Amino acid sequence: MIRIAELKLPLQALPVEARRAADAPAETDADRTPQPHPIEALRTLAAQALALPESAIANLHVHKRSFDARGTALRAVYIVDVALADPAQEDAVLQRLAGHAHVQRTPDMSWQPPARAAADWTPAADERPVVVGFGPCGILAALTLAEMGLRPIVLERGRPVRQRTKDTWGLWRRRELNPDSNVQFGEGGAGLFSDGKLYSQIKDPRHLGRRVMQAFVDAGAPPEILYEAHPHIGTFKLVKVVEALRARITALGGEIRFEQQVVDFVLAPAGEGRWRLQGLRVHDRGAHGTEYELPAQRVILALGHSARDTFERLHQRGVRLEPKPFSIGVRIEHPQGMIDRARWGRHAGHPLLGAAAYKLVHHAANGRAVYSFCMCPGGTVVAATSEAERVVTNGMSQYSRAERNANAGLVVGIGPQDFPQHDAAAWRAAFGDAAGSRYAAEAAALPDGAVHPLAGVVLQRTLESAAYRAGGGGYNAPGQLVGDFLAGRPSATFGDVLPSYKPGVTLGDLATVLPDDAVAAMREALPAFGRQIRGYDRADAVMTGVETRTSSPLRIPRGPDYQSLNVEGLYPAGEGAGYAGGILSAGVDGVRVAEALGCHVLGVTPPP
């Protein structure tokens, strides 16, 4: 097939009454038209691009679609794949158009398991691969292993999606946190209650992102995620997709065990300071409430960025960990209509465009980068803590993205040098007296410049506890209006923008919760962002805090064989291990690591 990019067609101007009122979004799923142009129109353009008669094109399908709202005309921009009526002609056409910037051979984006176990594979008790965590990374890892015929066992500390949804609502509606079943933990992982954005900037020469998307579509996700330039699923649809993926893994012989928390690692010495994994200690948090040992030679550790207790255990067992940079800040909310107008101009409200997104970056004079993170058009800010008496914000939306406000993290990059590793009181507050004092002593004994692997967790916990106190308790988040934040005074009343965070927002002074450097950088960035999106720094835009779980505070380094640098059989993966950021990249990492593990089990060479 031949891929042709940059095919542009104007979109019909909609009569004003057919548009969504930009200030009152009321889009429903039904409003979305799969393709605004008939395939015949694209066929005409494609034939022109290839300098062939239309009859030479046997088949055409849309690979990607985006919208260009610059200038006066609104246009759809397509990348299409065409099959010629005479496939033997394809080589000649490609040769004739060699060097044409927008024409190339369609790459093979299909995925096949790199190897398969024999149907009569009868593994020993410790030979079945184990996946810890059932977020996007663990799900795709388990699916890949299951499709390789390796019948994985999945251990997930949280509960199945339906129960988890109720538990999560418990925090948002009744201020009751379940530390093992919440926005971060449970079936579907951290991305379940999210905007479900499914794009990433990772290098992906093997098109594994497509494999992940196809798996989602096969499990019931809207097919348009395969061709939208910036696809998203939204929370409710994700719930069904995750359930269908679970059913598929189970049908292939995998087992998914919920409320099973891995609490320890059974390691045997392997010489030269290295270890070999022998099994896992598992706390059955369900009906049994007991602890047991699961023998396992090979385990994919897909923990997510919030598994702080497990990170601590890995550190205690001597598994190599490294501190890594992440970002901290707040969530900021504006009227979605304002963002639509800034982004789409006179086309704001066109149902095909949906709610507009944005991405902003500012390099502050103090050396900090301030940027928008995980922007959720037409969404809500959510309480995202997994730990008692701490407050963390994040954002989610439904597929329709129909809520009144746009929200995004407004975050500042920080690195290990910013972690409070020489603050013994902070260590104790973060980890309790005994362990905190021990880690503080470890940190004090490190050579100059070295940073303790758990020091980033200290910073996160310090900020999240401060936010809880500033919110006045009961999981209210501290909030402030942008005008007051810029003027350095606490807020007392809301303006036109009302915050969406539940259970509630307590107005005050966010500068008392965040480090000074971050506050200074944000104060500089907001007016700069206001010059890019008119009204971004409006006085009544609302900020709530704190945003601390932007990525993992540490990395579990792995070698080229995807195994931990000092524990054979342990395969760190996904966001918690520091190898992904976001649903799609976590899923891709899950595929990659599972392929490697599966090939090791089957004694074949993994794909490059």
**In one letter, which amino acid is 568?**
E
Among 80, 103, 115, 135, binds ligand FAD (CB under 6 A): 135
Place of tokens 């100059």: 448
Q: Return the residues of window 367-396 that contact ligand FAD according to CB under 6 A.
A: 374, 382, 384, 394-396
- Our finding on whether 156 is near ligand FAD (CB under 6 A) is yes
Q: What are φ and ψ of residue 359, in 5° steps?
A: -145, 125
Contact pattern for ligand FAD over residues 186 through 225, marking x by CB under 6 A: x--xxx-xxxxx----------------------------
- Our finding on whether 461 is near ligand FAD (CB under 6 A) is no
Among 67, 78, 111, 134, binds ligand FAD (CB under 6 A): 134
Contact pattern for ligand FAD over residues 257 through 276, marking x by CB under 6 A: ----xx--------------
Place of tokens 């939306």: 397
Among 360, 580, 597, 599, binds ligand FAD (CB under 6 A): 580
Residue 480 contacts residue 342 (beta carbons within 8 Å) = no
Whether the link from the prior residue into 503 is cis, omega within 30° of 0, is: yes
Q: Which residues contact 441 (CB under 8 A, 6 or more apart)?
A: none
- Smallest separation (angstroms) from ligand FAD to the CB of 361: 18
**Torsion sign across C-alpha atoms 471, 476, 478, 484:** negative
What is the spatial distance between Cα 411 and Cα 329, in angstroms, rounded to a whole number? Answer: 4
- Smallest separation (angstroms) from ligand FAD to the CB of 108: 25
Of 112-120, 152-160, 222-230, 425-433, the window that binds ligand FAD (rule: CB under 6 A) is 152-160
Residue 73 contacts residue 10 (beta carbons within 8 Å) = yes
Residue 372 contacts residue 360 (beta carbons within 8 Å) = yes
List 568's β-bridge partners, or say none: 276
Residue 408 contacts residue 376 (beta carbons within 8 Å) = yes
- Smallest separation (angstroms) from ligand FAD to the CB of 164: 9
- Our finding on whether 130 is near ligand FAD (CB under 6 A) is no
What is the spatial distance between Cα 230 and Cα 213, in angstroms, rounded to a whole number? Answer: 12
- Smallest separation (angstroms) from ligand FAD to the CB of 102: 29
Among 172, 185, 258, 275, binds ligand FAD (CB under 6 A): 185
Among 25, 129, 138, 222, binds ligand FAD (CB under 6 A): 138
Of 53-61, 299-307, 432-440, 484-492, the window that binds ligand FAD (rule: CB under 6 A) is 299-307
Alpha-carbon separation of residue 267 from 280, 311, 566 (angstroms): 9, 16, 11
Residue 154 contacts residue 160 (beta carbons within 8 Å) = no
Of 76-84, 167-175, 301-309, 401-409, the window that binds ligand FAD (rule: CB under 6 A) is 301-309
Q: How many CB atoms lie within 10 A of CB 552?
A: 26
Tokens found for residue 437: 């004092």
Q: Tell me which residue of 363, 346, 369, 333 sits closest to 500, measured CA to CA.
A: 333
Residue closer to ligand FAD by CB (options 22, 300) is 300
- Smallest separation (angstroms) from ligand FAD to the CB of 573: 7
Residue closer to ligand FAD by CB (options 78, 311) is 311
- Smallest separation (angstroms) from ligand FAD to the CB of 237: 12
Residue closer to ligand FAD by CB (options 4, 262) is 262
Total binding residues for ligand FAD by CB under 6 A? 44
Residue closer to ligand FAD by CB (options 349, 379) is 379
Q: Tell me which residue of 596, 603, 605 sits closest to 144, measured CA to CA.
A: 596
Task: Specify whether the backbone of 266 is left (phi greater than 0), alpha (psi in -120 to 50) or beta.
Answer: beta
Of 20-28, 70-78, 81-89, 303-311, the window that binds ligand FAD (rule: CB under 6 A) is 303-311
What is the spatial distance between Cα 216 and Cα 134, in angstroms, rounded to a whole number? Answer: 15
- Smallest separation (angstroms) from ligand FAD to the CB of 209: 11
- Chain positions contacting ligand FAD, by CB under 6 A: 132-138, 155-158, 183, 185-186, 189-191, 193-197, 261-262, 302-304, 307, 310, 374, 382, 384, 394-396, 574-576, 580-584, 586
